[in-house]
Amino acid sequence: MNGRRTIFRVLLHKQPQLFLCFSTLPSFDSLLFHPYYDLTICISFLQTCAHHGNLSKGKEIHSYVLKNGFLNSLLSVTSLINMYSKCSLMNYAVKVFNYLAQEDKNVYAYNAIISGVFANGFSHNAFELYKQMRCVGIVPDKFTFPCVIRSCSNAMDAFEVKKIHGLLFKLGLELDIFVGSALVNTYLRFGLTEEAQEMFDELTVRDVVLWNSMVNGYAQIARFDEALEVFRLMGLNGVIPNRYTVTGVLSIFAMTGDLDYGRAVHGFVIKMGYDSVVSVANALIDMYGKCGCLIDALNIFEAMNEKDIFSWNSMLSVHEHCTDHYGTLRIFNMMLGELVKPDLVTITNVLPACAHLAALVHGREIHGYMIVNGFGKDNSLVNNAVMDMYAKCGDMIYARLVFDNIREKDLASWNIMIMGYGMHGCGDEALEFFSQLCQTQLAPDEITFVGLLSACSHAGMVKKGQEFLAEMESKYGVSPTIEHYTCVIDMLGRAGQLQEAYNLVLTMPIEANPIGWRALLAACHLHKHKDLAKIAARKLIELEPGHSGNYVLMSNVYVVAGQYEEVSEVRHTMRQENVRKTPGYSWIELTDGVHFFVTGDRSHPKTDLSVMA
């Protein structure tokens, strides 16, 4: 019997995939009561469950361990803690840890629970367990410190890191490569670059993990030049970058918008075969997206054999970054079709697309999904995104309901409501919200007054708008910017006070930009004032000679005045200057999605059917 057990253990150690075969047997229970299923094999199975995230089988083995009294073994306890941690069931892992009497807990048990707690995002709890470990007199080892150091990093506690560094020196562990890498990365996160460099220089063994700590550490604090210099030195020292190096460097080029170097790293990725790694592909998508190369990002995404939630979210973010809101909804629908469950990042990427497209049906469905799944209940950022979507889609009743249900309203919450009421011509409501805002502890900012002045413009409250502009700095401490003056120019123009609008353009303390002049030109078109329109159009063409909107507005002024020769002259000038008008498009939201239509476009699959009808 002992010989059979030995053979079984050796096979399991050499070929852990055997466990997967056993798990497909008709009855796993029969294996549990096999005569040579002992503690050693239980531990091997638990390790395999942890590796594959097989929680159900792990629980079955846990039951067998309990029934047979194997839980008295520290090795079985640490294996169970590791299995539950890898399966993200930390309440079970903590219960197993607490099952041990305090006097029976050793450094291995503490290492297992600290590592599991930290890996599941509970940095504070990991550090508390470390302090408990120290209080009961258990001496940490080199496997304890990397997680503890990083938990201090997440808690932004530099003093504790320096205390740990002192203890490491006392224990003679400061030169361990994994501990040193954690220290380097943490010092850089705190901006302590001198301490990080000293630690790096002291380490005699410098593997790729340590170099990555330097590269990624500098990247995280936006010290991109230093990060790239370390990357260059890494190559000179003969250290081959791995996938973690690549993702760190790609994040730098994504932030700096350096497409040429990003493409060079992409070539290296293909050469090393890292392009099949999901995290690297995600980093490439992000880099190309932030560099404005939507097609390249989409090609990488579509070539991926395996996609995780980060892949989908990266692609959604890329479309939003490139203002392809229709593409955002298309990717989102594909994601749902693949049965990928959206998370908060997904929601915050898709809601702005719904807002820009006024896709109210999609927005309501997403809001319903959030409510059912408990997303964003106390998250002001997500609630503001929902409120903004309703406001931009014209549903101010639902926007108000969301606003009223936010427990802690920030300034952005108030600004969204003021802006929403303003853009829909509800001036009284916008002013009422502003009055309520002033009664809180929050102070209005530049965005608040853009919304307020826009509300006055759309509601025709000229006198009130002029009062707000005059009182902005003296009463509220907010200096008017070009956006505020442009709102007032638009307000005066809508009200037919064209001369006052023109005088403001000439006399305001900030030089008028093309938007201000265009607001004046639009007002001239509205009120058929061609003489002032010519002045505004000349200034606009001088500032933006390639903007088609300037020519179109002036052409429309002449059309209204019946001066068709001047219309032909404007269009001739456009042809000479090679200025092309961007074709207008419209869209409609149906149950199967948002459909786009461009003038002369015959690409819609139901075009021929509509002609026949």
When comparing pLDDT for 557 and 179, which is higher? 179
Is 599 a residue whose pLDDT tops 70?
Answer: no
Question: What is the rounded average pLDDT of the residues 410-428?
Answer: 93
The secondary structure of 61-100 as a DSSP string is HHHHHHHTTGGGSHHHHHHHHHHHHHTT-HHHHHHHHHHS
Q: What are phi and psi of 596, to 5 degrees?
A: -105, 145
pLDDT digits (tens, 9 = 90+) for 15-27: 444 444 444 433 4
Does any domain span residue 433?
no
- Count of domains in the chain? 1
Is 562 a residue whose pLDDT tops 90?
Answer: no
With cut-offs at 50, 70 and 90, classify the pLDDT of residue 519. confident
H-assigned helices in 240-343: 243-256, 259-272, 278-290, 294-303, 309-321, 325-337
Q: For residue 384, what are the CA distances in angstroms to 318, 399, 403?
A: 21, 9, 8
Does any domain span residue 193?
no
pTM of the predicted model as reported, rounded to 2 decimal places: 0.72
187-190 long-range contacts, Cβ below 8 Å, gap at least 24?
Answer: 187/161, 187/217, 188/213, 188/214, 188/217, 188/218, 188/220, 188/221, 189/153, 189/217, 189/220, 189/221, 190/153, 190/156, 190/158, 190/161
Is 1 a residue whose pLDDT tops 90?
Answer: no
Does any domain span residue 7?
yes
The secondary structure of 485-501 as a DSSP string is HHHHHHHHHHTT-HHHH
Tokens of 204: 């005699």
Q: What is the pLDDT of residue 17?
A: 45
pLDDT digits (tens, 9 = 90+) for 55-88: 888 888 888 888 888 877 788 889 999 999 999 8
Give CA–CA dist 610/613, Å, rounded.
5
Is 479 a residue whose pLDDT tops 90?
Answer: yes
The secondary structure of 573-601 as a DSSP string is HHHHTT--PPPPEEEEEETTEEEEEETT-
With cut-offs at 50, 70 and 90, classify the pLDDT of residue 6. very low
Q: What is the pLDDT of residue 579?
A: 60
Give CA–CA dist 485/503, Å, rounded.
12
Give CA–CA dist 463/71, Å, rounded.
80
Q: What is the pLDDT of residue 556?
A: 72
Does any domain span residue 228?
no
Which of 107-116, 274-283, 579-588 has the weakest average pLDDT? Answer: 579-588
When comparing pLDDT for 590 and 411, which is higher? 411
Q: What is the pLDDT of residue 66?
A: 84
Per DSSP, what are the bridge partners of residue 598? 585
Tokens of 434: 């502003």
Does any domain span residue 88?
yes
Question: What is the rounded average pLDDT of the residues 297-322?
Answer: 93
Does any domain span residue 225?
no
Give CA–CA dist 13/11, Å, rounded.
5
Pairing of strands 593-598, 585-590: antiparallel
Does any domain span residue 212?
no
59: enclosing H helix or E strand: helix 55-67
Q: What are phi and psi of 355, to 5 degrees?
A: -65, -45
Q: What is the pLDDT of residue 35?
A: 44
- Residue 45's domain spans which residues? 1-100
With cut-offs at 50, 70 and 90, classify the pLDDT of residue 344. confident
113: enclosing H helix or E strand: helix 107-119
Q: What are phi and psi of 406, to 5 degrees?
A: -80, 125
Mean pLDDT of the chain: 84
* 303 Cα distance to chain centroid: 23
pLDDT digits (tens, 9 = 90+) for 378-406: 788 889 999 999 999 999 999 999 999 88
Does any domain span residue 22?
yes
Per DSSP, what are the bridge partners of residue 588? 595
Q: What is the pLDDT of residue 116?
A: 93
